[in-house]
Homo-oligomer: A and B are copies of this chain.
Amino acid sequence: MKKLINGPDEFLRDGLDGMALAHADLLVLDEQRRYLRRRQTTPGKVALISGGGTGHEPLHGGFVGYGMLDAACPGQVFTSPTPDQMLAAAEAVESGAGVLYIVKNYSGDVMNFAMAAELATGPVASVITNDDVAVEDSTWTQGRRGVAGTLVVEKVVGAAAEQGADLDSLRNLGERVNGCTRTMGVALTSCTVPAIGSPTFVLADDEIEMGVGIHGEPGRRRQAMAAADSLASELLGSVLEDLKPQRGSEVLLLVNGFGGTPLLELYGMVSAAHRVLDAAGIRVVRHLTGSYVTSLEMAGCSLSLTLLDETIAPLWDAPVHTPALRWGR
């Protein structure tokens, strides 16, 4: 295992400290490193909190800031944060309008966020994301996994929160955005969790994992490597089969790298995705392309579609100022 770390035990500490140093204008790291929070909060706003295992950066800490999250709770690599982290984060950023937890659907995260919600003294609601169409139930999941589409939920709900929406509306909006978002991914290589020191899974030189999860969980099958057009066709075919958009629908296309894939390959997947979507009569009117919801250094990508409407599109376009997403201010 070769990594730019001092050791498995220092990986999270050094990474979080560096994140706080690099974005000191935006982020504050709790002294006990239980959460990253916004430096400047918007008074009277519902507080949005997410979190989960680390190793997916910039998700979630890189999405803390104006127009998106108020705080993010980092667990150990691929391990849920604890309820006390979530409670401490809520205490730090809650300002009277309640707290919305945005939680990826993994059993550990769901359980710990539920415990934190039970222990809360003020109003709390939760949105569970489960955009991954690859498989029902998985290594750490009952039902579908929450993956790259989570960032779309965080962005859209974050914009609505900034505009003053109340807790109930935000939960409903979050569920609606999750409900019109679908994702599927493919891995070309594994990743290596520092504390384990060996690859999570092993693929042959010509083999890929179709439908992989963001922790390297199994997908639908192992198969031979295929051309970009063929991969885009299967990934988006599965997404479209499940999402069932009408011809002429307008979508956001998120081409998300898993951490080890060059940007130029991701742009190539944008081309490939357009060919598939053009043929299906789907209109891509917004793009996000880059490594946003990663799996350490895993090579591969996921493709996500979100159906846009007159509510969601303007909220996607609304100003955001976080370490990883910034526009409009």
Contact = CB atoms under 8 A, between A and B. Distances in A.
A123 interface: no
Contacts of A294: 262-263
Interface in A261-278: 261-272, 274
Given A188-B4, A227-B7, A294-B263, A22 B287 contact: yes
Given A7-B227, A299-B297, A18 B262 contact: no
Given A14-B228, A23-B287, A271-B18, A5 B296 contact: no
**Best-buried of A16, A255, A259, A301 by chain B (most CB within 10 Å):** A259
Given A18-B268, A18-B289, A22-B270, A62 B263 contact: yes
Interface in A1-33: 2-7, 10-12, 14-19, 21-23
Contact of A5 (B10, B205, B227, B270): B227
A42 to B, nearest CB: 20
Interface in A207-256: 208, 225, 227-229, 231, 255
Contact of A189 (B2, B16, B19, B261): B2
Q: Can you list the 5 inter-chain pairs with the closest CB atoms, starting with the nearest?
A: A18-B270, A18-B267, A14-B268, A15-B264, A18-B271
Given A5-B265, A19-B264, 8 more contacts: A15-B267, A15-B268, A18-B289, A21-B274, A21-B287, A57-B264, A260-B297, A263-B294
Interface of A: 2-7, 10-12, 14-19, 21-23, 54-55, 57-58, 62, 188-189, 205-206, 208, 225, 227-229, 231, 255, 259-272, 274, 284, 287, 289, 291, 294, 296-297, 299-301, 326-327
13 contacts: A4-B231, A4-B261, A6-B272, A7-B227, A10-B268, A14-B228, A15-B267, A17-B271, A18-B266, A57-B263, A259-B260, A260-B260, A260-B299
